[in-house]
Amino acid sequence: MTKFDIIIIGAGPGGYETAVRAAKQGRQVAVVEARRVGGTCLNEGCIPTKCLCRTAEVLHDVKTADVFGVEADKTPAFSLKKAIERKDNVVETLVKGVEMLMRTPGIAFFHGKATFVEATTMKVELHDGGEEILSAPVIIIATGSVSKFLPIEGAHSRDVLTSTEMLQLTELPRRLCIIGGGVIGLEFASIFNAFGSETTVVEYCKEVLPNLDADIAKRLRTSLKKQGIAFHVGAAVTAIKELSGGGSEVVFEAKGKQQCVEADIVLMAVGRAANVASLNLADVGIDFTPRGIKVDEHFATNIPGIYAIGDVNGICPLAHAATFQGYSVLDHLFGTTKRPIDTSLVPSAVFTVPEMASVGLTEEACQAREMEYSVKKAFYRANGKSLSMGSDEGLVKLIVGTDDKLLGCHILGAHAADIVHEATLLMALGGTVADLSQTIHAHPTLSEVLLAAAAE
């Protein structure tokens, strides 16, 4: 048995970032990963999809180049195979970077499957043979998530893929049906529509992106619809049936009627579930539900010394949330920072065209809590930089409390994912909207849309 100060199960953003920070603080850390380092985000999530988003943006720029006085072929040749190869190269480069981090002094890396033996002890079945028994007073579970499937007929049939398999396609589907209008579904819809696939999104809720601001989500859906993406909202998929001539039929109920969409590929994008299958959680008494491992405000489980961060606890399935939850665990254990991390203040982004970004409360959340608030808006079409870029679609929406503190910021438009962090910092530091409106912004910049909303 080898003893450590901390054992971290999972080498995704939460796991490897926490391991590096703990090692730099002088702790001896064991990191166990069953697959490739980098987790879902790097290997089959954030990074590879952003590579394809960039390809889609380049295609759009070429097709609209004449607007900027550039004569270009309106029907440029496109190779999905080359786009996937570029994506693979980017991922491989970043994976090698994480592998280097796992050689940080103080970190011992184990490539294998970890299971609990008891509350302070793990057994690791090594991929190259043999096993290791590891022990530590602190164990952090950071095993991430896996794709969900609807419990319907045909959910695992021939043409049904998850986001993981979609990222390996080398032939473009002529017809793509996406089940789920969340972040994953809309990003793939935006990408493959730009690539040339006839794309349809079927969403169970009455609006896409049901956890984000409904006003902004509706505007995004309208924009994507103008680009040629078909939507069916308030639609419950009941079956996926293979067609004898190839392809599948997605059957759903909407507005009291049964309808169907034919597709060559069906993307199942109905969310992700905590990856806990191989951990033996029940054997050591760790409380968990289908949503994830139960944790308190410090991300501690009901078993002393065992913590769960990232997707596996079901609180906020975002890579950066996992990282800062891990940092928060270290702060709780060792008191390593002077200022506590506010893990409830997490910005999110949807990398469609146009982008959408959000932080804080939505209008719907404020209404549910019976909070008093006001709304301030400013539009991209009144911003000089956005007009010069040819990206004048979008707006900034601020939710403001009675004390002039910013409760939420929701953005639709070019570089929304970058602009939202100014609002996040304002909220983290307890600033007011007046503070924002009195802060000089460079001209011409897209961030002036945020300034214009604050000054409304």
Catalytic amino acids? 443
Q: For residue 419, what are the CA distances in angstroms to 220, 412, 447?
A: 17, 10, 6
Single-letter amino acid code for the residue at 455: A
Q: What's the rounded Cα separation, in Å, for the pair 343 and 316?
A: 10
Counting Cα atoms < 13 Å in the Cβ hemisphere of 323 gives 12
- The pair of structure tokens assigned to 23 is 């090692």
Helix (H) or strand (E) holding 174: none
311 and 292 in contact (C-beta within 8 Å)?
yes
- The pair of structure tokens assigned to 9 is 């199960």
Q: What's the rounded Cα separation, in Å, for the pair 161 and 177?
A: 10
Q: What's the rounded Cα separation, in Å, for the pair 286 and 141?
A: 11
Q: For residue 434, what are the CA distances in angstroms to 42, 404, 407, 438?
A: 39, 7, 13, 6
Nearest to 414 by CA among 447, 442, 391, 448: 391
201 and 231 in contact (C-beta within 8 Å)?
yes
Nearest to 292 by CA among 306, 272, 319, 269: 272
Q: What's the rounded Cα separation, in Å, for the pair 101 and 85?
A: 25
Q: What's the rounded Cα separation, in Å, for the pair 43 and 36?
A: 8
Helices and strands in the chain, H and E counts = 13, 25
What's the CA dihedral at 295, 296, 301, 307 to 10 degrees? 90
Q: Is 59 helix (H, G, I), strand (E, B) or coil?
A: helix
**Neighbouring-strand partners of residue 146:** 273
Q: What's the rounded Cα separation, in Å, for the pair 116 and 134?
A: 10
